[in-house]
Amino acid sequence: MSGTITVTRTEIRSNTEIQFFVMSPAELEYRNQNFVKNGKILFSKTEISDDKLTRKFTVIFLDEQSRLDYRNDSVISDFRSRKKQYNKSNNITSDVKFLVDQ
């Protein structure tokens, strides 16, 4: 049995006039219904730096299969695609780190 998977995404924008891309209320509800309430996502938190230029989003998944289910979900994938294009168009950089807890 695999352990939890922690995914941390850090995004940096050049100024605060550029908004960070966020999920719509419908996408958030979908995520909550399909991943949080059924225990696939154990924890999530968003932090904004004091200068408001960096956003750090941390998600802890139950296991690798839960992370893959999230990654491959069509609604989440569509959101991720739109976010990637938005970030590219607005010069928002992104870095992702994974931690596996055995």
Nearest residue to 46 (alpha-carbon basis) of 17, 22, 63, 72 = 22
60 phi/psi in degrees, rounded to 5: -110, 120
Rg of the chain over all Cα atoms, to the nearest angstrom: 14
- CB 5, CB 67: distance < 8 Å: yes
Q: Is 20 helix (H, G, I), strand (E, B) or coil?
A: coil
Q: For the chain, what are the domain ranges?
A: 5-100
pLDDT in tens, 23-78: 999 999 999 999 999 999 999 999 999 999 999 999 999 999 999 999 999 999 99
CATH code for the domain defined by 5-100: 3.30.70.100
